[in-house]
Structure 1
Amino acid sequence: MSILINKDSKVITQGITGKTGQFHTRMCRDYANGKNAFVAGVNPKRAGEDFEGVPIYASVKDAKAQTGANVSVIYVPPAGAADAIWEAVDADLDLVICITEGIPVRDMLAVRNRMREENKKTLLLGPNCPGLITPDELKIGIMPAHICKKGRIGVVSRSGTLTYEAVAQLTELGLGQSSAVGIGGDPINGLKHIDILKMFNDDPETDAVVMIGEIGGPDEVNAAEWAKDNMKKPVVGFIAGVTAPPGKRMGHAGALISGGADTADAKLEIMEACGIRTTRNPSEMGKLLKSVL
């Protein structure tokens, strides 16, 4: 068991012929079961060719029909990325992971609304996310694999670099991870903290969870309130942006304080009230998690 992906996932890279797509497909194939998992690439202009032995197809539907793929990862430039997401959703894949940063909000709004209207089953991770990893099985995206270690702690984060920080701390403490998931920092994205918490809650191989959030939006608060009533496992939390000034976008497109409840202090307070132990020091995330086991 793991969440979202495992060694048996079959993965398509959309944008496999671009520099970023090539580099990260290569890195992912070199990790654990990546060689067997990455079964196809998509580029309409290069169909029939291959990238280092990975066949390239004209469309996601073609790639799925030929290889049985159930997951896609997207390294398509921002202008075409929303269309790439829809193409994968329309092919009824189980999971689409969009790494691309800088997709226009209007484009994402259109895709999300269409996914809802047509009641699509595909789960979307991202955009503007580092992807995810199930250690010793499979990584999809841009996370550094060398800091990961098989273990029983789940990690879910809106921040890419803080995901790596938490993972590295857990590895250093000898705890390791069941899966680590970066949900991305855009204002309109797919899976939220609450969705990933539910999956970790149901996963028999996860004992506890590190949840990392940022200023802006209600996601962390929604997750904390759900966890208070439903979570059977300990959760510890960190919110980036304690010193952020209101009204100024910080790093991620979604990291913008617009109201009272989306400051770091307000989120930390609500999380604590919901039984989630928190720290204001990102270097303490691993130690805090160890203390609740």
Structure 2
Amino acid sequence: MHKAGVKKFPYYVGIGSLKDVATKEDRVCVLNILGNESRGVTPVSHEYSGGNVVFGTGPGRSGQALETKLGPIPVYNSIKEGRAAGHKFNTAVIYLPPSGVKDGVAEVVRQNPDLRKIIILTEKVSVQDARVIRAICQTNGIDVFGGNCLGVADAWNKIRIGGALGGNKPEESLVKGSIAIFSNSGNFTTTIATYLLTKGWGTTVSISSGKDVYIHFAPKEFFYSLDNDERSKGAVIYVEPGGYYEHGLEINKPTIACVVGRWKAKLTKACGHAGSLAGSGDDAKAKEKWFMDYFGVKDIYTPEKPVFSKKGAVVTNIAHIPEALTKVMELNGIKPDFGAKGDLSLKCWFGNNQGLKLPKELDVPVVKAIEPYAEQIEIISKQVGAQYPRQTMKDASGASVMDAKTQVTKVHNVSILDASKKSFEENLVFSLLKEYPDAYGKGLANLAFNAYVNM
């Protein structure tokens, strides 16, 4: 049994328009908010969204907080404790380890009857656990994004929920426009949004679906919601092999389908995304054919051979998306959202023609890198040639020898077991002088190393 949602679907779907994916009214709770990934990502999402994270959880972390520019986000031991403190939310973001995701979903659903959306960033959630998560959320009327995704974002509302879509400066790539993005790859979601800017296209909603075996909010749900979002005039979908989520779609707005992964056709083990391992009839070539049939085209779009229709085009290179989209939209009488921003030409930060006279197309000019990389490159350039002498250990005059009896390695005739008893400073001196310092030398080394580190 499942709750009643959008009538079109035989299962629960609560989101009927892309306008409802990430709204200004959404309030968020982050599970494992003080984990390594969340510590860096959540503050950026919170600040970009105007402060939409109400609290986070972390067992044993009650009373702590995650600092942001908008103020600290409180942390509690559990959802129950956070709710008891008066916090309300309708969206949960899950950063838990794979083995804990199912229990985390069960807890947040059980403790919060107001929950409507869950975004699972964790990868490698087992198929069995994904089935249980699906059942729990279907029964309770909750939309799920992920797992193994980077969340969702709405450039019109300036809301980002979940992962790092747009990186540390989402406002630079998530620019208000008329194109919706659905992508199996989290990183390429941002890349596509950035590429679209070069032809003057901005975005409405960006959805990183993830590419686990279970994709809960899938292409069918996306295209239905796309039809009901008047802001979105077209779409880009990035597709990897594996699964039949893209089969039998109803696509009513101009769309560019980027299908990748022909090279995965002969794989017998998933490479990267667990769900990108093709089975029978769902490899990259098959999916290219599905989309060609949708759009009424006979071949892949390339700049040299532009094949497209009013309905859309199929590309296999993400760099071709902006041009293909512009061509398709022109047929529909739709102009870009704004002037072009940047271009996709090769911009080398490093280069050296070795004094050779190269053809113009090969002698690519070096450009100054964007910050902070320009400063870092300048610093590194000053260090070129200032490398410390390094003696290779392999077969170098007995620098390292394994004792035939004990099987313990010696370095410069000192057992590594003995070396492990020495201090860090002593071993640094030994690596340079090939002998250990006395007490006075150890003191001098300690003083020198600390002075260098703390300069």
TM-score (norm 1): 0.89
Task: List gaps (5 residues or longer) in structure 1.
Answer: none
Please say if residues 137 and 143 of structure 2, whose CA atoms lie closer than 8 Å, have aligned partners that are also in contact: no
Determine which structure has greater relative contact order: mean sequence separation of CA pairs < 8 Å that are 6+ residues apart, divided by chain length: 1
In the alignment, what sits opposite 2:367? none
Decide which structure has greater strand share. 1
Secondary structure, aligned partner of 1:292? helix
- Give the superposed CA RMSD: 1.9
Q: Are 1:43 and 2:58 counterparts? A: yes
Secondary structure, aligned partner of 1:56? strand
CA drift at 1:109: 2.0
Per-residue CA distance 1:68-91 (angstroms, 9 max, x = gap): 211111111112122112323332
Out of 25, 32, 41, the residue aligned to residue 24 of structure 1 is 41
Secondary structure, aligned partner of 2:259? strand
Q: Are 1:80 and 2:80 counterparts? A: no
Q: Measure the CA separation in 2 of the matches of 1:67 and 1:4.
A: 21
Please say if residues 148 and 171 of structure 1, whose CA atoms lie closer than 8 Å, have aligned partners that are also in contact: no
Q: Measure the CA separation in 1 of the matches of 2:241 and 2:183.
A: 12
Q: Are 1:112 and 2:134 counterparts? A: yes
In the alignment, what sits opposite 1:60? 79
Q: Measure the CA separation in 1 of the matches of 2:57 and 2:116.
A: 17
CA 1:182/1:58 → structure 2, altered by over 3 Å: closer, same or farther? Answer: same
Out of 142, 160, 166, the residue aligned to residue 122 of structure 1 is 142
Q: Are 1:131 and 2:151 counterparts? A: yes
Q: Measure the CA separation in 1 of the matches of 2:154 and 2:318.
A: 22
Tell me which structure has the larger Cα radius of gyration. Answer: 2
Please say if residues 185 and 208 of structure 2, whose CA atoms lie closer than 8 Å, have aligned partners that are also in contact: yes
Code of the residue aligned with 1:172 in structure 2: it is: T
Out of 12, 15, 22, the residue aligned to residue 5 of structure 1 is 22
Task: List gaps (5 residues or longer) in structure 2.
Answer: 1-17, 296-311, 330-455
CA drift at 1:64: 5.0
Secondary structure, aligned partner of 2:19? coil
| Equivalence map 1:126-165=2 (5 Å) | 126-135=146-155, 137-140=158-161, 141-143=163-165, 144=167, 145=170, 146-165=172-191
CA 1:76/1:268 → structure 2, altered by over 3 Å: closer, same or farther? Answer: same
Please say if residues 3 and 179 of structure 1, whose CA atoms lie closer than 8 Å, have aligned partners that are also in contact: no
CA drift at 1:142: 1.5
Q: How many residues align?
A: 282
CA drift at 1:61: 4.7
Out of 159, 178, 192, the residue aligned to residue 204 of structure 2 is 178
Per-residue CA distance 1:41-98 (angstroms, 9 max, x = gap): 1124223433221122333355456222111111111121221123233324111111
Q: Measure the CA separation in 2 of the matches of 1:19 and 1:160.
A: 18
CA drift at 1:15: 0.7
CA drift at 1:2: 2.4
Q: Measure the CA separation in 1 of the matches of 2:262 and 2:74.
A: 47
CA drift at 1:213: 0.9
Secondary structure, aligned partner of 1:164? helix
Per-residue CA distance 1:112-171 (angstroms, 9 max, x = gap): 23334xx22110000100111112511121212132211111000111222122111112
Out of 313, 319, 332, the residue aligned to residue 283 of structure 1 is 319
Secondary structure, aligned partner of 2:246? helix
CA 1:285/1:47 → structure 2, altered by over 3 Å: closer, same or farther? Answer: same
Q: Measure the CA separation in 2 of the matches of 1:154 and 1:28.
A: 19
Please say if residues 12 and 63 of structure 1, whose CA atoms lie closer than 8 Å, have aligned partners that are also in contact: no
Q: Measure the CA separation in 1 of the matches of 2:205 and 2:181.
A: 6
Per-residue CA distance 1:232-275 (angstroms, 9 max, x = gap): x2121011202223343232100011102x01111111111112
CA 1:37/1:283 → structure 2, altered by over 3 Å: closer, same or farther? Answer: same
Out of 276, 300, 308, the residue aligned to residue 255 of structure 1 is 276
CA 1:234/1:3 → structure 2, altered by over 3 Å: closer, same or farther? Answer: farther
Please say if residues 150 and 176 of structure 1, whose CA atoms lie closer than 8 Å, have aligned partners that are also in contact: yes
Q: Runs (4+) of structure 1 moved beyond 6 Å? A: none
Please say if residues 247 and 258 of structure 1, whose CA atoms lie closer than 8 Å, have aligned partners that are also in contact: no
TM-score (norm 2): 0.59
Code of the residue aligned with 2:212 in structure 1: it is: D
Code of the residue aligned with 2:74 in structure 1: it is: P
